[in-house]
Structure 1
Amino acid sequence: MTDHPPRFGLLLFPNVTQLDLTGPYEVLARVPGAEMHLLWTDTAPVRSDTGLRLLPTTALADCPKLDLLLVPGGAGIHELLADEAVLAFLRSQARTARYLVGICTGSLVLGAAGLLKNRRAGTHWASRRFLEAFGAVPTDGRVVVDGTLFTGGGVTAGIDVALAIVAELFGEERAKIIQLSIEYDPQPPFDAGSPKGAGRELTAFLLERMGPMLAARAAAVQAAADRLGAAKE
């Protein structure tokens, strides 16, 4: 891949959805020799959106050039969409990183950094429409690949995305070995992991519960899109 061990950087921010982060981390960390960086503005513990405390390992200012940069999602993305220091970091790393990855609503953060223009991208089904604000082409898929851009659906899709990346970088056999090692053999008790499987009634119920959060997200996305457009003028 390069003349150094593969360097994988995953953004870790307040109110991240931990499985967006830890699912791909579990896969990528099993690549032999992988150099893993959990990135934030400092290395103090960070609280996930469900209360789990996680520890960044590398401050943004100390981050080396990465081979892969991954942005997970979660409620905390609303603040990231307006955090110019973080967006500038993403743009800087994206210039040299071989692969750029968005998991769940982390894709929206990549969009706010101006990295999704005219590119196919996925995200959580309830937020997919917001991708258009950043010039992306919203795509319905658990794993969406556009060149060296890998994005995925919500939360658990991060494991699938990471396995697809490992297969791209190191071959299918290596990806299959990792899949077997973590016994990733999904057999959910219910077919309710997507609106299609869950049906209209359950989907409508969940969307109603998510209404205030989605309204706040719509406002945050529009403000970020406006700033991005103004910066390009």
Structure 2
Amino acid sequence: MSGLTFVISAPSGTGKTTVCGKLLAQDANLRFSVSHTTRLPRTGESDGDDYHFVDEDRFKKLVVEDAFLEYARYAGNLYGTSFAAIEDSLADGFDILLEIEVQGAAKIRASNFEAIFIFLLPPSMKTLDQRLRDRGTDSDEVIQRRLREGNPEISMASMFDYAVINDDLGDAVAKVREIVEAERSGDATSARAKHGIERVLASWLAQEEKTVASHA
């Protein structure tokens, strides 16, 4: 297979779907890999475009058939990336964008599948809480579960290659595009210096600690 694979993950509510949508609209050589999920469609989502929406029995059948590059359960629902969703596009020379949960990204990282991993961070955990509530698609119980799972996901961020803070949408998209173009060029030295996971994550964690301390 030719072409590059970019994996973008983030805690729920960070805005990864919006960032990925903008990125795809601006980059004709990037193709979106449509994942499978057992969760119900949200308003405006359509089967085959946003996700392949299936019931749990169908999903488990695909697992048995070894159809998935990765799959994971998140917030009570199953999510998975099928081999079929990416192989054809890569073979045609397109680059692939995988928008997946952090647990799924960890499975890809642990496998022999070659990819570039980008982690999106919210401006703060407080902002993440507000974004989930403003979205209006989840019950309070689901929001609390997503927030509980958000912290462990951030603790897993060090396995990624890059990090981008989604404080301003246009700025976040521009930074991800810079990473994509740098990786395509074969020389990502500058991008890694600016957006490398260690640098960005350390800065974010330091700011989060200051915020927590100021409210103590």
Normalising by structure 2, report the TM-score.
0.39
Whose helix fraction is larger, Structure 1's or Structure 2's?
2
TM-score, length basis structure 1: 0.37
Higher relative contact order (CA 8 A, sep 6+): 2
